[in-house]
């Protein structure tokens, strides 16, 4: 599961752990742990990886309108482990047109 999240979604499939480590000027071991789920990357590490791949990570905080259905989904989601939430999100994105 983690390999799919980090390997496919965050950095290009053709970029190996070793090549990514060189771009980040770090050891390969933490990257391997991120892929296998042995360790969660920090927000800062995620930002650095995204930028090393030529992208920009943007975060926006905005108020939202109340939505009972969404609130129910959020309550259910909060009972899941972070990895399960990310995987469910990716699966929903895969199903989207």
pLDDT by residue (tens digit) across 58-75? 888 988 888 999 889 888
DSSP at 67: -
> Please, how many CA atoms are within 13 Å of residue 71, restricted to the half-sphere of its CB?
5
Cβ atoms of 18 and 28 within 8 Å: the answer is yes
Please choose, from the candidates 60, 63, 49, the residue with its C-alpha nearest in 3D space to the C-alpha of residue 9: 49
**What's the pLDDT at 13?**
65
**b/e sequence 65-90, b meaning 16+ C-beta within 10 Å:** eeeeeeeeeeeeeeeeeeeeebbeee
Under-50 pLDDT residues of the chain: 1-5, 7-9
Supply the pLDDT for residue 9. 46
Q: Do 35 and 7 touch, CB atoms closer than 8 A?
A: yes
């Amino acid at each position: 599961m983690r390999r799919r999240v980090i390997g496919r979604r965050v950095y290009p499939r053709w970029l190996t752990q070793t090549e990514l480590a060189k771009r980040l000027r770090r050891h390969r071991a933490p990257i391997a742990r991120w892929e296998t789920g042995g360790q969660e990357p920090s927000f800062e590490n995620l930002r650095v990886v995204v930028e090393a791949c030529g992208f920009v990570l943007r975060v926006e905080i905005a108020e939202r309108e109340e939505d009972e259905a969404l609130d129910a989904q959020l309550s259910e989601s909060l009972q899941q482990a972070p990895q399960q939430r990310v995987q469910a999100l990716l699966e929903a994105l895969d199903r989207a047109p």
